[in-house]
């Protein structure tokens, strides 16, 4: 279960993000970057932040500590901007915060440090699992702190929960947006990452994650429905590379780093164009 802290001082808005998170101090003397209820997609974005972030932690990936943050709207009085005051007033109650990493810099692929290939593959695997569309070269949502990558900003993951239209079909579809993943050019085999990580994600793990969601984030959804819906997200097949995720990920990887396509894959890539096209 996530710890719960109470915000005691509003420090500043962080205007770099589209949702304008807040930097706050809490009653444990910690500083947290708080994603607010009143911003953007509201509660659903916070649910995605919690689920994807804690799943990443369960898989051993580097994620800043997450806490639930109780926010009193009177803290907005420290902010002179009227729009930010309104945002904080709409965010009274339980929000989610990430441990503030002082001195952390945004990951820049051209500058480095280059990530470990297995770590890069694991992050690509995770983001495809939770359908995270927001870890691209344009917006990496990765921080480098003490020369180590940290994953942040998962509010755009699990986007199907904004509609839940035909989740069964959604679960069977691939995730083509992973082609643009910022870490894909650095990644080792995604199939091997699947072999390592897939056994770590089961119903017990997902039920535990669902249980951590605050009740007031689920006003219109009985908690009993949460885990079955989480289980509908697409995931890589553990044994086969014939369809779906693995082929979609491995091919762009070889395209970007200009590696030859192995003979073992030539029979499973169902493309009309010659294979040379994919290597251009």
For the stretch 6-40, pLDDT in tens is: 999 999 888 765 678 999 999 999 999 999 988 87
Structure-token match 């495809």, residue found:
128
Q: How far is CA 39 from CA 44, 65, 205, in A?
A: 11, 21, 29
Q: What is the pLDDT at residue 17?
A: 59
Q: Where along the chain do its domains lie?
A: 3-101, 106-274
> Percent of the chain, pLDDT > 90?
49
Give the residue-averaged pLDDT of 204-232.
73
Of 38, 79, 47, which Cα lies nearest the Cα of 66?
A: 47
Measured CA to CA, the distance from residue 99 to residue 97 in angstroms comes to 7
User: Residue 226: which pLDDT band, with cuts at 50, 70 and 90?
Assistant: low
DSSP notation for 43-67: HHHHHHHHHHHHHHHHTT-----EE
The 8-class DSSP code of residue 181 comes to B
- 0.85 surpassed by pTM: no
Q: What is the pLDDT at residue 275?
A: 26
Measured CA to CA, the distance from residue 264 to residue 77 in angstroms comes to 63
């Amino acid at each position: 279960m996530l710890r719960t802290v109470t915000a005691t001082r509003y420090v500043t808005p962080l205007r770099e993000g589209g949702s304008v998170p807040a930097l706050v101090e809490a009653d444990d003397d910690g500083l947290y970057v708080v994603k607010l209820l009143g911003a953007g997609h509201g509660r659903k974005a916070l649910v995605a932040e919690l689920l994807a972030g804690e799943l990443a932690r369960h898989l051993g990936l580097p994620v800043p500590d997450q806490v639930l943050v109780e926010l009193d709207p009177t803290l907005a009085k420290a902010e002179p901007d009227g729009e930010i005051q309104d945002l904080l007033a709409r965010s009274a109650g339980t929000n989610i915060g990430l441990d503030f990493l002082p001195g952390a810099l945004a990951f820049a692929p051209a500058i480095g440090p280059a990530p470990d290939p297995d770590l890069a593959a694991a992050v690509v695997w995770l983001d495809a699992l939770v359908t995270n569309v927001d870890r691209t070269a344009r917006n990496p949502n990765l921080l480098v702190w003490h020369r180590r990558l940290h994953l942040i900003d998962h509010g755009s993951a699990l986007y199907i929960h904004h509609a839940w239209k035909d989740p069964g079909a959604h679960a069977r579809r691939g995730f083509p947006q992973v082609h643009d993943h910022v870490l894909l050019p650095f990644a080792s085999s995604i199939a091997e990452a699947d072999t390592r990580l897939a056994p770590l994600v089961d119903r017990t793990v997902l039920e535990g994650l669902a249980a951590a969601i605050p009740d007031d984030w689920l006003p219109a959804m009985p908690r009993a429905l949460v885990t079955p819906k989480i289980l509908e997200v697409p995931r890589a097949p553990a044994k086969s590379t014939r369809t779906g995720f693995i082929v979609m990920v491995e091919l762009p990887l070889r395209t970007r780093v200009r590696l030859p396509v192995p003979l073992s894959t030539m029979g499973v890539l169902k493309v009309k164009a010659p294979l040379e096209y994919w290597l251009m």
